[in-house]
Structure 1
Amino acid sequence: MALIDKVPGELKLHIGGLFTLRRKEALKEANITHVLSVLRFTPDEKLFNSFRHMVVEVDDVEDENLLQHFPSTNNFIQDGLDGGGGVLVHCAMGKSRSATVVIAFLMAKYHISPSEALAQLRQARPMCEPNSGFMEQLSIYYQMQTPENVEENPVYQRWVYQREVELSRACGQAPEAEKIRFEDEHADSQKQADFELRCRKCRRTLAMSQFLVDHKPRTFQSDQTEIQTPPAGASLCAHYFVDPLSWMRPELEQGKLDGRLECPKCKTNVGKYAWQGMKCSCNEWVVPAISISKSRIDEVKSRTGVGADVAGIRRPPAALASPNRGPGTQNL
């Protein structure tokens, strides 16, 4: 393995470490015209006088947000290739950060998965190994279908929100009010819910099926080391866990770590929340945990053609302004 390695294929795309920049003959031989530096450092301007240079200042740590930079790094690489020259992507060792950026570019250009792009890259540079946080971000990028605008994508926004919640948990605090993501305000208004959760006392709809958080009851081991599972058809969960919803705003924005949830119509206690998480009756931890008690609600099959307005769930502003809303759109 050389200090500078060409990515397999027809592209004049290369990857290396920091010391690659001092290999002037190798850079000249590869006709490098663009250099993308993916690390925090103070560059020696003399090294970059003959190149177009871009710096993405990130550390090689799992919680670093490199995903937000993929569109700009992709554009820089493509501009260099379109100009007929070679492009060098480097970090400190040419192992994690630079590999992640090259993988993101290959994914977007060839519509391949992170694992496929990594396998291609390792043909030239076997040491490439993005850290686990970067691999997660590449998977999210793939899930989003490598959009040109990452930050406006709902999948990215939800991921950022989850990171904020995790950071708050680590500090022993509730997330800041303005950073709580109320999922019904971002929902696809065209998506039909399978069922609704209604307050048993006043019949006010509290949640739609698409806002439920899935979790699987944990299997456990007996003294005889036999794996036990719940009996067929048995439901061990006494709660529905849901995403934050707009009717919870007055309670969740108070900045408390945990508390009760009341039906906004009849004020009946219908659930509870704990940003630090809680253990479900099925023995599974849910973090963060926003729960609605099954004993306080009824599950009702959604009516055909009825949108989120009918369920009493807030729809996005564009959907609310739609001139095509049919009859029967009052909140319950």
Structure 2
Amino acid sequence: MPKEDILHHLDTCTDFIREALAQNGNVLVHCYFGVSRSSAAVIAFIMKQHDVEYQAAFDLVRSKRRFVQPNPGFVSQLKLYRRMGCKIDAQYQRYKLYRLRLAGEQVRKAKILPQSFNSLIKSDPAVTQENPEPIVYRCRKCRRVLASKSHVLLHNNKSLAASATANNGLPPMSSNANTDAQQAPRLLEQIAAQIRKASLNSPTGAGAADAAKEQQPAVCRDIVFVEPISWMRNISHNTQGRLHCPKCEQKVGNFSWINGCQCPCGEEVSPAFYLIPSRVELSKAVQNVQTTL
């Protein structure tokens, strides 16, 4: 099934195949139809062994067996595996979101977070640490540290991305004919400037890095989505609820394992653990880390 977790088996599969081939052995990779599961394992091995992208590995495997076709869920997991360098990177943002979605599926079924997912709940950043992170989010009322920068799950501003796509990076056209006529020369100048800029910043030019940077979507800051943190009460035994500051009890956010949350920018994040920007503040002082009981 597309939602089945095959990602966490890929390292075992690829290691087995590599070791067998290193000993001049033969390997039979099989499943019921030889279409999705077995092909996913072989594609993962090709990507890792030959350092190629998903599509190249898929094309090679299909050239040997024309029936192969991993299901959409496996394809997404294989591409994530490749983005992580063909290994599990627990700090990679997309991997964190993937693990949260797996946990959300389990909570949807059992109404409780299985113990195998307890590692998703991060330690409290307000507890004294040897090397505390300098950038933290604090309760705006009592200044209690709630989350570190590494706990934040970023997402792109969907509304800005949609606007940029619709306008293709150019100013929106006016519906007024007279205004159009007056602004036409200016618009042509802007288009010419856009073309010159694209030419200068093309991958073959000196400004390739700047061009790539400009093309990246803007990060949304309407809502602060974070990983589950140990100060969040009852998140292991409830499917959704409110998040209260553990010191002053003020509501600072909400959580939901199954419904998620739609950001004002239009992006939907699920599962969602988020802090309300008006209830928290960003601090860049290391000394804000305190000891809590």
Q: TM-score, normalization: structure 1?
A: 0.57
Identify the residue that residue 126 of structure 1 maps to in structure 2. Answer: 66
Q: 2:272 aligns with which of 284, 289, 300?
A: 289
1:114 Cα deviation from its structure 2 partner: 2.2
Identify the residue that residue 324 of structure 1 maps to in structure 2. Answer: none
1:129 Cα deviation from its structure 2 partner: 1.5
Q: 1:114 aligns with which of 36, 54, 58?
A: 54
| 1:279 and 2:218 aligned | no
Q: 2:7 aligns with which of 67, 83, 88?
A: 67
| 1:175 and 2:113 aligned | yes
* Matching of residues 185-224 of structure 1 within 5 Å: 195-219=135-159
Partner of 1:198, secondary structure, is strand
1:244 Cα deviation from its structure 2 partner: 0.8
Give yes or no for contact 1:237–1:281 (8 Å, CA) kept in 2.
Answer: no
- Could you tell me the percent identity over the aligned residues? 31
Moved more, 278-287 or 263-272: 278-287
Partner of 1:123, secondary structure, is helix
In structure 2, give the amino acid aligned to 1:269. Answer: K
CA RMSD of aligned residues (A): 3.8
1:199 Cα deviation from its structure 2 partner: 1.3
Bigger relative contact order (CA 8 A; separation at least 6): 2
Q: Which structure features the higher share of strand residues?
A: 1
How many residue pairs end up in the alignment?
A: 232
Identify the residue that residue 258 of structure 1 maps to in structure 2. Answer: 240
* Matching of residues 15-30 of structure 1 within 5 Å: none
Give yes or no for contact 2:124–2:146 (8 Å, CA) kept in 1.
Answer: no
Deviations 1:94-115, CA, capped at 9 Å, x for gaps: 3222211111222222222222
In structure 2, give the amino acid aligned to 1:175. Answer: L
Structure 2 residues not aligned, in runs of 5+: 161-165, 168-218
In structure 1, give the amino acid aligned to 2:270. Answer: V
Q: Measured at CA, do residues 120 and 241 of structure 1 come closer, stay the same or move farther in structure 2, by a change above 3 Å?
A: same
Give yes or no for contact 1:217–1:236 (8 Å, CA) kept in 2.
Answer: yes
| In 2, Cα distance between equivalents of 1:236 and 1:157 | 18
Identify the residue that residue 197 of structure 2 maps to in structure 1. Answer: none
Q: Measured at CA, do residues 281 and 138 of structure 1 come closer, stay the same or move farther in structure 2, by a change above 3 Å?
A: closer
Q: Measured at CA, do residues 259 and 86 of structure 1 come closer, stay the same or move farther in structure 2, by a change above 3 Å?
A: closer
| 1:301 and 2:277 aligned | no
Q: Measured at CA, do residues 185 and 143 of structure 1 come closer, stay the same or move farther in structure 2, by a change above 3 Å?
A: farther
Give yes or no for contact 2:159–2:265 (8 Å, CA) kept in 1.
Answer: no
Give yes or no for contact 2:61–2:68 (8 Å, CA) kept in 1.
Answer: yes
In structure 2, give the amino acid aligned to 1:311. Answer: V
Q: Measured at CA, do residues 292 and 91 of structure 1 come closer, stay the same or move farther in structure 2, by a change above 3 Å?
A: closer
Partner of 2:238, secondary structure, is coil
| In 2, Cα distance between equivalents of 1:282 and 1:256 | 27
